[in-house]
Amino acid sequence: PYVVTEPCINCKYTDCVEVCPVDCFYEGPNFLTIQPDECIDCNACVPVCPVEAIYPDDELPEEYQHYTEWNEYLANQWRELGYNITEKSDPMPDAEEWETKEKSEEDILT
Ligand code: SF4
Ligand code: F3S
C-alpha cells in the first residue's frame, strides 16, 4: 500500500483524496492517512500532492519508515470514527509556513 508521511502534517492539501479511486483516505485534525487494506496501489495520489508526502511503502525514505505503522494505526482509528475524506477541502491555515518547518510524527494530533 501507499503511505502518507511527514510533509502532510499541518498542511493537509487534500488533493490526494480527489483522485483516489477507492476512497481510502482518512482524516485526522492535522494529517491524512491511507488505510492499507483498502489501497489498490494505483499511484494516482503521488503526483498530485504538492508537498510530495505520499510514497509506496517499499520506496519510503529511511526517515519515514515508521509511517507505515502510523498510517495503519491512525487510519483504523479514524475509520471507526467515520472520518473518511473524499472531497478536497481547504488546507490547514498555516500550511505554507509548515512546509518548511521541522516536524515529526509527534506533531500529529489524534
Ligand atoms: Fe488511493 Fe491509489 Fe493512492 Fe492507494 S495509491 S491511496 S488507491 S490513489
Ligand atoms: Fe496531505 Fe498531500 Fe494529501 S499534503 S492531504 S498527502 S495532497
Strands (E) located in the chain: 2-4, 25-27, 32-34, 54-56
Q: Is 8 in the pocket of ligand 2 (CB under 6 A)?
A: yes
Model confidence over 82-102: pLDDT tens digits? Answer: 999 999 999 999 999 999 999
Tell me the CA–centroid distance for residue 11 and ligand 2, in Å: 7
Where in the chain are the domains?
2-86
Task: Report residue 18's pLDDT band, with 50, 70 and 90 as the boundaries.
Answer: very high
- Interface confidence: ipTM more than 0.95: yes
Q: Does domain 2-86 have CATH number 3.40.50.1370?
A: no
Q: Is residue 56 classed as helix, strand or coil in its secondary structure? A: strand
Which atom in ligand 1 lies closest to the alpha carbon of residue 56?
5
Q: What is the pTM of this model?
A: 0.98
Summarised one tens digit per residue, pLDDT across range 34-66 is 999 999 999 999 999 999 999 999 999 999 999
If 0-12 CB within 10 Å is exposed, 13-18 middle and 19+ buried, where does residue 19 land? middle
CA–centroid distance, 57 to ligand 2, in Å, is: 16
* Residue 34 CB less than 6 A away from ligand 1: yes
**Confidence (pLDDT) at 10:** 98
Smallest CA-to-CA distance from 54 within 24, 81, 79 is with 24
Q: How confident is the model at residue 1 (pLDDT cuts 50, 70, 90)?
A: very high
Residue whose grid cell is 510533509: 7
- Give the residue whose CA is nearest to atom 2 of ligand 1: 42
Determine the distance separating the centroid of ligand 1 and the alpha carbon of 1, expressed in angstroms: 8
Q: Which atom of ligand 1 is nearest to the CA of 41?
A: 5
